[in-house]
Amino acid sequence: MFRFMEDRKKRIQVSKDFFNEFLKLMDHYNLVDEASKKIWKASMHPEEASNVPKMTATEDRAAKIEEFKKKKLIEAQIEKLKGSDDDKDIKEFWLNMIYQGIMKSISGLKSIDLEFQLLVYRDSLPAEARKPSEPPKEKKPIQMFHIPKGALAGKSYMFGDGEEAELPSQAPLADPSVVRTYQETGERVAVDVGSNQVNDRVNLRGQMEAQVFQPHWNQPTMSLEEFGEMEYQDMMRREAEEKERNDIQAAKDEETLEEEERQKAIANDNMKDEVPKGYGNTKR
189-191 and 143-145: which strand pairing?
parallel
Q: What is the pLDDT of residue 198?
A: 52
Q: pLDDT band at residue 201, thresholds of 50, 70 and 90?
A: low
Whether the Cβ atoms of residue 141 and residue 71 lie closer than 8 Å to each other:
no
Instruction: For residues 62 and 176, give the distance between their C-alpha atoms in angstroms, rounded to a whole number.
Output: 69
Instruction: For residues 160 and 166, give the distance between their C-alpha atoms in angstroms, rounded to a whole number.
Output: 7
Q: Tell me which DSSP letter residue 164 carries.
A: G
Instruction: For residues 16 and 43, give the distance between their C-alpha atoms in angstroms, rounded to a whole number.
Output: 9
> Is the model's pLDDT at 99 over the cut of 90?
yes
Q: pLDDT band at residue 75, thresholds of 50, 70 and 90?
A: very high
Instruction: Out of 111-120, 158-167, 213-222, 250-259, pick the least confident.
Output: 158-167
Question: Which H or E run contains 253?
Answer: none
What is the residue-averaged pLDDT of the chain?
Answer: 76
Q: What is the mean pLDDT of residues 206-223?
A: 72
Q: What is the pLDDT of residue 72?
A: 92
